[in-house]
Amino acid sequence: AAGGDPRGAARAWRADASRHPSPNAGPVEAAFAGALGVRLGGTLSYGGRVEHRPVLNGGGRPVEVADIDRAVRLSRRVTWLTLAACVGGRILTDTVKRRTK
């Protein structure tokens, strides 16, 4: 819903979120991979240590440098939409409470 390919995000989230070793990061990384149309995971190096992780959105293309800016923009949109949903939920809750008193 925040941009990119929402159907791809939902498809990758459903298919790959549980494959990630982190139950918290898996859904987000899978959805971002699908929304951006890229493939994430595989053999990675973290701090000189090699890790083999499941591939997220395996049908996506390899990541390119330009995808960094796209990912940052998507992250900002997700942040603003989340803030708007929280504020809207708070306003709705307060309105309902006032009406029921």
Residue 30 lies inside a defined structural domain of this protein: yes
Task: Name the nearest CA neighbour of 57 among 95, 4, 101, 100.
Answer: 4
Number of domains in the chain: 1
Q: Tokens 């809750």 — which residue?
A: 93
Whether 10 contacts 31, CB under 8 Å = yes
Residue 26 located in a structural domain: yes
In a domain, 90, yes or no: yes
Domain containing 89 equals 6-100
**Residue 19 falls inside a structural domain:** yes
Note whether residue 1 is domain-resident.
no
- Reading the chain (101 residues) residue by residue, the pLDDT tens digits are 667 788 999 999 999 999 888 888 889 999 999 999 999 998 888 888 998 889 999 999 999 999 999 999 999 999 999 999 999 999 999 888 888 87
Cα–Cα dist 22/10, whole Å:
18
> Which of 66, 15, 79, 81 shows the shortest CA–CA distance to 36?
66
Residue 93 to residue 85: CA distance in whole angstroms? 12
Residue 91 lies in a domain: yes
